Amino acid sequence: MTSLRLLGADACELDGPTFEAAFRFAGQKCWLIRPDGTPSRTLQAYLDSVPANAVATSTCLERDVWWRFSLPPVPVALVATCFKGRVPKAVRNTVGAIAVGGVAGIHDADSEWARAFLLHFASLGLDERIVAHANGLRKVEINQLNTLLAEFDGVTASDV
């Protein structure tokens, strides 16, 4: 996931039906390449059609095969790093999406802890803790998110 912008404000979980409705069937760009497997004929034809100058980047040139890379671990929750309002969108990740771009992932937690953290997170009001950029856009940095996670560590679902 590169953005959670298309999820409704009340979304608390990114599951299969939500992903399909908000991203895939809505015509949004999403990465469906499995870089750790053998591509289908259709995918291979597409990969072969990409012009050499389009993959002449430092990242692609460092790889033996420009599009093949190791998948990062699947996070238990996803958090938008840019937001307007009081708090970024954050959802449990039951569809197994990978966090990239403007989405951070919460790892090394179980689903119940993630649910409790996300309830707590939604109540924080980060607008008072994070400086706004242009037009009221705010950005929570990874270290800031790590601080919030550390502050919450040890709290149980029954405490929220």
**Which residues, including other chains, have CB under 8 Å from residue 118's CB and lie 6 or more apart?**
12, 77, 90, 91, 92
**What are the tens digits of pLDDT across the range 2-25?**
788 888 888 899 999 998 888 888
Residue whose tokens read 């291979």 = 44
pLDDT at position 157 is: 46
pLDDT at position 49 is: 94
User: Under a CB-based contact definition with an 8 Å cutoff, are residues 79 and 140 in contact?
Assistant: yes
pLDDT at position 10 is: 83
Could you tell me the pTM of the whole model?
0.79
Cα–chain-centroid distance for residue 130?
Answer: 20
Q: Which residues of the chain have pLDDT under 70?
A: 1, 29-32, 154-160
- Of 134, 75, 132, the C-alpha closest to 105 is 75
pLDDT at position 123 is: 84
pLDDT at position 2 is: 79
pLDDT at position 41 is: 93
User: Under a CB-based contact definition with an 8 Å cutoff, are residues 4 and 100 in contact?
Assistant: no
Report CA torsion sign: 70, 76, 81, 83: positive
Beta partners for residue 103, in sequence order: 80
